[in-house]
Structure 1
């Protein structure tokens, strides 16, 4: 009998080990299935929030064609899967003197998932368009010539007592992305129709070639290096001084600078320039007025 018991014990022990291994496998499989189901649910929730944000963005832009849009908050019925409440916040901010409007749509559910979209438009007001009828508008009241190592011309134009448009890069930064692309990214990817903002003093390298449209905002002094070319439509908003190097080509550009604009020798600008503290040019600078730079600027819809 004792031998039989020992034999049965040897049989039962492997069986128990086998069953334990099987149960562990089942638990692991069950956990894997649960995690996969959770991942699918999270993905579906995310896609639902994206779809809702896109819909409200397009509705707001369509509504704007008929009437001014304003801040609004909406609550939607529970979303499935997840049984989550959804809240939509539409925020609008304006820089009146520039005709600049920022629109942001934020969608969040009760499970802390969120998604947002942004868009902006610059629809220049009539007083600003009138100011920019001349290719160059210098509101400094300066005259004559300035010596800075080489002879340069200080441009003056009749401003009729006009006031420079009120804006600050700080208020724009609250709504726009504060990331500014590197020179390599600008040359490789171009501008994609959004606002690019730098709070710090920045110097773009020589020989930069940038395609695409965009609004470039600078909170401190900015330098565009010699032999640089911007082929698309750009709007430069500068809080301080703007220095454009030699042999630079800005092929469709509007420059609004609260400081002084300095333009290097043999440079070419097609568009319009407005400076609060003076415009100084080197030799053989060409500035050609182009009213197309005053057309409304609609950005892409950005994350």
Structure 2
């Protein structure tokens, strides 16, 4: 149920200063109505009502809450990268670099979530694992959208969501739209790099194939630029995000291996061996391989 936030008349610094003077710098403790401004602003009561572990085992709450935290962070990463793409389309390189800086920090927070999950002993995880049934993080549509906006366009991986109309629509849109890397390569072309037309005008729902001309274009950015050059800074900011996502995958692999060993995953994969293959993938491939030309 949506509540109407109480009108405390605190829309300016002057009003907030007046309130602080009235309370002698102490927090306000009394509010009208049946809620508080913080509960209403953050929907805290709704948020904290969404945890429904199934086993009754105390360790399941850790797994459950961290899963929901990751979903919120995936949403944030996706929205930030969509904004980066728009900034690049508008030739706002400094703005995109600034947003990529924050995106990297959010991904680092995602990586650290595995540190908490890694505290689950195998016996603790086994105590509730059967209650997952066929549920698997692989089915996360927010993570799939993150992969798509980063450029890993594997169309088949959208299939789990085809029977959930509102989710399917979001995932398909993320699949069909250009990735943030497509936007960066298009910017290189506008800045004079020799990028083939078939790289720029392609079906964005398909996986892009690495191209030697794009690799050379990024190598030129490094040769000709430096910390004072905005496209050089863009290249490094993109690499920061790509590396952070690689770390996410690598730590995921380690934690799964630590907790379940070589047992198969709940979603039908072989588990660790399947995750190990995934860790070899690189987002923004020509940015990685261009280093070999320098």
Superposition TM-score, scaled by structure 1 size: 0.19
Structure label with greater radius of gyration: 1
Which one has a larger percent helix, Structure 1 or Structure 2?
2
Which one has a larger percent strand, Structure 1 or Structure 2?
1
